[in-house]
């Protein structure tokens, strides 16, 4: 589907049982053709699936599809909790066609109620960012940014770049600051990034 038509997403955090980390990685890898992107954080037990869609019919049908069916059937064995399937709106995106990604960043933000519209304005990416999605969790003040890179060099350039500088410089004014923005380095285990 053309990237310009993609405006909806499902974000599915998964927490693996400590002794099932390899099995969850294998599960996501086996669903490679069906999963948009499978992520694992550097804590080794937290995974997520990000699927993007061009129409509500696709997003609505996905939770009853093959990957979701297999995930639900194996959740008790593989996962410590969940899965928690969250519908999102994609506010902006960039996908370099044919990009080979291996690492990423997942940033979760909570906007102050009076700053939601300002936070909703999408961020820009650094030159080494091969794909990114700015997502909104409808009905909440929560937002996410998921960025993908070829390697650690691209990820480090992004973390040390202007985008991160602007985000952190404006965090106190725009975000609920119970803690800093939840920025997590991730490894990509099922890299099916498509335009």
Same domain? 95 vs 178:
yes
- Model confidence over 29-75: pLDDT tens digits? 765 444 444 555 545 577 888 888 888 888 888 777 777 788 888 88
- Model confidence over 174-187: pLDDT tens digits? 888 765 667 788 88
d(C-alpha 67, C-alpha 44), whole Å: 21
Give a yes or no: residue 36 inside a domain. yes
d(C-alpha 157, C-alpha 171), whole Å: 20
The pLDDT of residue 114: 93
Same domain? 156 vs 173:
yes
Task: Please report which confidence band the pLDDT of residue 104 belongs to, taking 50, 70 and 90 as the band edges.
Answer: confident
Domain boundary among 29, 59, 87: 87
The pLDDT of residue 77: 92
d(C-alpha 79, C-alpha 18), whole Å: 9
Give a yes or no: residue 193 inside a domain. no
Tally the domains of the chain: 2
Q: Could you tell me which of 28, 136, 147 has the C-alpha nearest to residue 86?
A: 136
Give the domain CATH number at 8. 3.30.70.100
Same domain? 49 vs 70:
yes
pTM of the predicted protein model: 0.77
Same domain? 13 vs 33:
yes
Same domain? 96 vs 169:
yes
Domain boundary among 34, 53, 87: 87
Q: When comparing pLDDT for 107 and 4, which is higher?
A: 107
- Is residue 84 a contact partner of residue 75, using CB atoms and an 8 Å limit? no
Give a yes or no: residue 25 inside a domain. yes
Question: Does the pLDDT value for residue 86 go beyond 80?
Answer: yes
Same domain? 170 vs 103:
yes
| Domain around 123 | 91-185
d(C-alpha 36, C-alpha 27), whole Å: 14
Domain boundary among 71, 87, 103: 87
Tell me, what DSSP letter sits at residue 4? G
Same domain? 96 vs 178:
yes
Q: Average pLDDT in the 158-162 region?
A: 85
- Model confidence over 117-154: pLDDT tens digits? 888 876 667 778 888 888 899 888 898 888 889 999 99
């Amino acid at each position: 589907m053309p990237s310009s038509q993609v405006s909806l997403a499902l974000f599915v955090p998964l927490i693996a049982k400590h002794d099932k980390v390899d099995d969850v990685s294998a599960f996501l890898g086996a669903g490679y053709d069906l999963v948009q992107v499978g992520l694992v954080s550097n804590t080794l037990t937290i995974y997520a699936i990000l699927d993007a869609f061009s129409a509500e019919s696709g997003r609505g049908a996905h939770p009853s599809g093959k990957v979701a069916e297999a995930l639900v059937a194996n959740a008790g064995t593989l996962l410590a909790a969940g899965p928690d399937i969250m519908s999102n709106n994609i506010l902006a995106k960039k996908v370099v066609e044919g990009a080979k990604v291996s690492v990423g960043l997942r940033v979760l933000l909570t906007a102050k109620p009076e700053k939601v519209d300002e936070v909703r304005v999408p961020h820009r990416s650094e030159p080494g960012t091969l794909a990114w999605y700015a997502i909104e969790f409808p009905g909440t003040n929560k937002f996410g940014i998921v960025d993908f890179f070829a390697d650690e060099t691209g990820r480090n350039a992004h973390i040390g770049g202007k985008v991160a500088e602007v985000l952190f410089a404006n965090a106190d004014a725009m975000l609920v600051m119970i803690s800093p923005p939840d920025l997590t380095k991730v490894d990509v285990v099922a890299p099916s990034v498509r335009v």
